[in-house]
Structure 1
């Protein structure tokens, strides 16, 4: 588990992270989102001791990363996939890391095969493509078989097969009760892999919770209903926790009732239905709304909205 408590980081008169608190649960994949300049990288750097908080704290299983005697066995980290000696082979890079933590040499070959780099294990990392470098970085994160994975933009450079592989890997990791904290700008990918979200902007927490809860906080799910008896069905659906909007003579927008419930009510009253379609905004649309006032650099079009 990762816990940030009133985390603040200032660089001179600039505040990069301000009073930030959130929890990353084990057993799920948590997406870490925010526009450019939101403070995500600073937060991750404070998590692993590369920056020190001005105030507050961030811990892994109750301890600061710098207090862990063998951090690679607790936290698997991918911050910069290119942070590798270009003259070293993939095998030798991982072997050097393994030797700092008394990790068996056999584990090096195991993770290289796991990430698909077995055939190029002795190729110099300087000749790797971005996708291969990402796989090597993920291999390094997995080397100590840690309970916590922290990955910053791990999908960058991966081809579709690699993206699918990573999605399955992270889902399986979380399914074993481990903690996965994943930063990414790819909303479509996060909507497929993430269970929870932490959204920040200008260094402050904007939203936290399950993906469904975060999206619903922006725009509750509704159901589009098309029927020739729209007024009659609208009257039948009325309840304290239900909102029914008549969009035209035959179309209703219903909030507070599931498509199943609407269908059952319509059937009981012999009201024909031409369409019954759940409506839900995408994670990308929700993200844009949540962060619309926390964007560091807005395009001219955005500034006019």
Structure 2
């Protein structure tokens, strides 16, 4: 488990992370999201002791990373896949890491095969493609069979087959009760991999919770219904927890009822249905709404960056 409590980091007059608190729980994959300049990299660097907090704490299993006697066995880390001696082979790179932590050489071959680099184990890392470099970085993170995986943009450079492989790997890792914390700009991929989310902007927490809860906090799920008896259906659907909006003479948008419930109610009242379409905004749409006032670097024609107060946790 990773726990950040009132984490703050200042560089002179600039505040990179401000009063940030969140928990990354074991047994699930947690996505770490934020616009460029949000403070994600700074947070990860503080997690592994590369930067020191101005105030607050961030711990792994209740301990600071610097206090772990053999960190590779506790935390598997991928922050910069390019941080490899270009003249060393993949096998030599991992063997050097293994020997510093008392990890047997057999584990090196095991993780190389696991990430698909077995056939090129003795080739120099300097000749690797971006995707192969990512796989080597992931192999290094897995080397100590750690309880916690922290991966920064692990999908970069992977082809579709590699992305599918990584998705299955992380899901399997979490299913074993391990903690998986990863950042990515690929919302479509995170929506398939992640169970939980931590969203930050301008160094502050904007949202945290399950993917479904975070999306629902922006726009609750709805169902589009097309029927020639829209008024009659609207009348029987109305309730304390149901909102029905008429879009036109035959089209309704319903919140608070599932498509199945609507279909059963319509059938019970002999109301014909021409369309019954569940609708939920995408993670990317939710992310854009959550961070719209916390973008440090705007784009031409986009909304001007503004300061926003953090949202409360939706968990």
Bin the TM-score by the shorter chain.
over 0.9
> Conserved in 1, the CA contact under 8 Å of 2:78 and 2:137?
yes
Q: Deviations over 1:199-246 (max 9, x none)?
A: 000000000000000000000000000000000000000001110001
Alpha-carbon distance between aligned partners in 1 of 2:124 and 2:260, rounded to the nearest angstrom: 57
Aligned to 2:179: 179
Aligned to 1:297: 297
Instruction: Report how far residue 301 of structure 1 moved.
Output: 1.1
Instruction: Provide the secondary structure at the position in 2 that maps to 1:83.
Output: coil
Alpha-carbon distance between aligned partners in 1 of 2:33 and 2:14, rounded to the nearest angstrom: 21
TM-score (norm 1): 0.99
Alpha-carbon distance between aligned partners in 2 of 1:275 and 1:303, rounded to the nearest angstrom: 36
Alpha-carbon distance between aligned partners in 1 of 2:44 and 2:256, rounded to the nearest angstrom: 38
> Conserved in 1, the CA contact under 8 Å of 2:74 and 2:148?
yes
Aligned to 1:133: 133
Instruction: Provide the secondary structure at the position in 1 that maps to 2:303.
Output: helix
> Conserved in 1, the CA contact under 8 Å of 2:201 and 2:295?
yes
Instruction: Provide the secondary structure at the position in 2 that maps to 1:225.
Output: strand
Q: Deviations over 1:26-76 (max 9, x none)?
A: 000000000000000000000000000000000001000000000000000
Alpha-carbon distance between aligned partners in 2 of 1:155 and 1:299, rounded to the nearest angstrom: 24
Name stretches of at least 5 consecutive residues in structure 1 with no aligned partner. none
Cα RMSD over matched residues?
1.8
> Conserved in 1, the CA contact under 8 Å of 2:222 and 2:256?
yes
Instruction: Provide the secondary structure at the position in 1 that maps to 2:302.
Output: helix
Instruction: Provide the secondary structure at the position in 2 that maps to 1:62.
Output: coil
Instruction: Provide the secondary structure at the position in 1 that maps to 2:262.
Output: helix
> Conserved in 1, the CA contact under 8 Å of 2:7 and 2:17?
yes
Alpha-carbon distance between aligned partners in 1 of 2:152 and 2:127, rounded to the nearest angstrom: 22
> Conserved in 1, the CA contact under 8 Å of 2:292 and 2:303?
no
Following TM superposition, where does structure 1 have runs of at least 4 consecutive aligned residues deviating by more than 3 angstroms?
none
Instruction: Report how far residue 300 of structure 1 moved.
Output: 2.3
Instruction: Report how far residue 303 of structure 1 moved.
Output: 2.7
Alpha-carbon distance between aligned partners in 2 of 1:303 and 1:72, rounded to the nearest angstrom: 43
> Conserved in 1, the CA contact under 8 Å of 2:218 and 2:290?
yes
> Conserved in 1, the CA contact under 8 Å of 2:30 and 2:194?
yes
Alpha-carbon distance between aligned partners in 2 of 1:296 and 1:245, rounded to the nearest angstrom: 36
Alpha-carbon distance between aligned partners in 2 of 1:297 and 1:142, rounded to the nearest angstrom: 34
Name stretches of at least 5 consecutive residues in structure 2 with no aligned partner. 305-314
Q: Deviations over 1:128-148 (max 9, x none)?
A: 111000000000000000000
Alpha-carbon distance between aligned partners in 2 of 1:121 and 1:178, rounded to the nearest angstrom: 27
TM-score (norm 2): 0.96
